Amino acid sequence: MDPSKAPHITHVSSNIKQGVNADLSRLTLIVGPNGSGKTSIVNSIELALTGSVTDMEGRERVKAASSLARLGNGVGVTAKAVLSNGEEASWELTPKKRGGYFEPKHSPLTVDVQFPVDEVREILSGSADTIRNWLMGRISGEIGVRDIESRLPSEDVPEFWKVAKFLKGRDEDDSGVDLLLEVLTAAKKQARSLKSGAKTAQATIDSLSREMPPEPTADDLANAGAVVEQARQAIYKVSSAPHAPDLLRLREEAKSKVAAFEEASKKSQAARNWTDMTDFKGEGEEIIAFRDSLIAVVEVNSRLPENRCLVCENGIGMDLVDKAERLKEENAEGKEALLRARNLEAALQDEASARLDAEQAIGRLQRAEGDAMKMAGQPDVAALSAAAEEARGALERLKAAQRQWASLRAARDEARASKTHASKLEALAESCQDVLKELLAQAVGRFEMTVQAYLPEDDRFALVLEEGGKSVCRFGFIRDGHLHTALSGAEWARLTLALGCACSTADSSSLSIFKPEERAFDADTLSQVMKALGDAPGQVLLTSPVKPRGRAPKGWSVIDIGSETP
């Protein structure tokens, strides 16, 4: 931004204390001893622009009319500021005849007004975390997501975006450092969680593997299947003998009924699962029907011109449309729970009926087989059936063991995958940490140069945000090769002013005023400060008890209200 194109105050007037009537430029030095009226000029500007003043009665900012009235010595207070674009701002406090004051009249500017140095002083009075976060926000704005991606190892980039998208849908449009910090934190957290889960899972797997039966081989399963088939053939041979032709029909009937029962069992189990999936609590039909009626009444009532009850005609203190929607949501949940309960009841009834049919069909088959065996002198079908059942049980136990071992291997694979993923996330976190250090070092360097541009050459500004692998917040001036953070009042004044300039967000349509606290600068230091602020991004108002040595730097105007000559 070209500072010369931004608006600035050209004239200020007020009746504060001895009265103020001063012409100002974009860069103005107000010189005079204590009590000469320097603060009155600054307070007049603040009052006209904001309706408040700073550094009054020992308080940072005063807004109360009763306190501001003392600036006018009991005759009311007026303040007016004129801008270079012709716009004016004013504030007036008029006394009443019988004591007290009327409500202040304030005509503010239409442009945005900023006092960056006041903001900097407020931030620097906060905690170390507050200061660090504020500085991070100022230095990291130029770092984009693509800057981060280009510095990450190529093998870490896919994992970076996986974590980024997991963070509330973060994507390529997010700011750089903020996203990098979030991914770094999330990657560490996910890695710890995965490693902990894999360790627990491995302990469980080891425990289960010691208690499981031996894993069956393919030959074990084939031999058990052959025994089952032999038993089945023996039963079939007896059942299909010529002297018992009806056994074939009874056998098919029994198979059909058993199959029907198994299908009904599957459906009832599905109904149970469906019912278990919901957190809804079932409600009776009467409650649901009553709520439907209530919804209809509420919807009709909500369309009336006045928000009054149809029954008692009293006012209703609620949003009826919103109430109707909540009732509908509640009824939808109740109806869904009721439907699931009904489906489960019907499925259980079908299962019970199918079970009875199957048991009856099996009974008929068994009685017919017994009769046929007795008639033909064949082996006892019951004994053959028991042998077949035992063979089938042995086969099923082998299959169950096979499934258990398959599940165990899958769990081991998952645990190994979790460990592998955790390693990738740890590598990503380490890479993010390296990138963060690199980018912050570059950003800090740029920020230091920006701040340095508004400081005298002898003040070498430095900022440290990381030290020994830990986040810190140390800044100040380099003296004798060391960073000094315990600065004098004059040094802090210069630094807060430079920080305000470096962090200013002003543009050509806003009014940004830099007014540092008055400190006892010597004439040479004052001259250097004025030179350094020649390109400040707004209007600068310096107050000093002494003049700068020699002529004022280019672009500065000096208001002398009784200075000491250096």
- The Cα–Cα gap between 209 and 187 comes to 32
Nearest to 93 by CA among 82, 83, 79: 79
Residues forming a β-bridge with 515: none
Nearest to 17 by CA among 45, 36, 33: 36
* Residue where the block lists tokens 């010595």: 73
If phi over 0 gives left and psi between -120 and 50 gives alpha, with beta otherwise, what is residue 129?
A: alpha
Domain boundaries, the chain: 3-132+453-560, 245-377
Q: pLDDT tier at 90 (50, 70, 90 boundaries)?
A: very high
Name the CATH topology of 3-132+453-560: Rossmann fold (3.40.50)
Q: What's the CA dihedral at 407, 409, 415, 419 to 10 degrees?
A: -160
Nearest to 320 by CA among 299, 341, 347: 299
The pLDDT value given to residue 280? 46
The pLDDT value given to residue 276? 64
Lowest mean pLDDT across 58-67, 451-460, 478-487, 528-537: 58-67
Q: Could you report the per-residue pLDDT of 544-559, keeping only the tens digit for each?
A: 888 888 888 999 999 9
Q: pLDDT tier at 140 (50, 70, 90 boundaries)?
A: low
What is 289-307 written as a DSSP string? HHHHHHHHHHHHHHTSSS-
* Angle, vertex CA 46, rays to CA 43 and CA 51, nearest 5: 110
**Structure tokens given for 76:** 């009311």
The pLDDT value given to residue 22? 93
Q: Could you report the per-residue pLDDT of 397-447, keeping only the tens digit for each?
A: 889 888 888 888 888 888 889 999 999 999 998 998 888 888 778 888 888
Q: How many Cβ atoms are within 10 Å of 396's Cβ, its own excluded? A: 12
Q: Could you report the per-residue pLDDT of 326-347, keeping only the tens digit for each?
A: 777 777 777 777 777 788 888 8
- The Cα–Cα gap between 166 and 175 comes to 16
Arithmetic mean of pLDDT over the chain: 82
Answer yes or no: is pLDDT of 369 > 90: no
Answer yes or no: is pLDDT of 281 > 60: no
Q: pLDDT tier at 540 (50, 70, 90 boundaries)?
A: very high
Q: pLDDT tier at 517 (50, 70, 90 boundaries)?
A: confident
Strands 461-467 and 77-83: unpaired
Answer yes or no: is pLDDT of 271 > 60: yes
Q: pLDDT tier at 58 (50, 70, 90 boundaries)?
A: very low
Q: Does residue 516 contact residue 493 with C-beta atoms inside 8 Å?
A: yes
Q: Among residues of the chain, what percentage have pLDDT more than 70?
A: 86
- The Cα–Cα gap between 322 and 344 comes to 33
Q: What is the enclosing helix (H) or strand (E) of 279?
A: none
* Better-predicted residue by pLDDT, 375 or 40: 40
**Structure tokens given for 27:** 């860069």
Give the chain's radius of gyration (CA, Å).
Answer: 44
Please classify residue 271 by burial: count the beta carbons closer than 10 Å to its beta carbon, then call 0-12 exposed, 13-18 middle and 19+ buried: buried
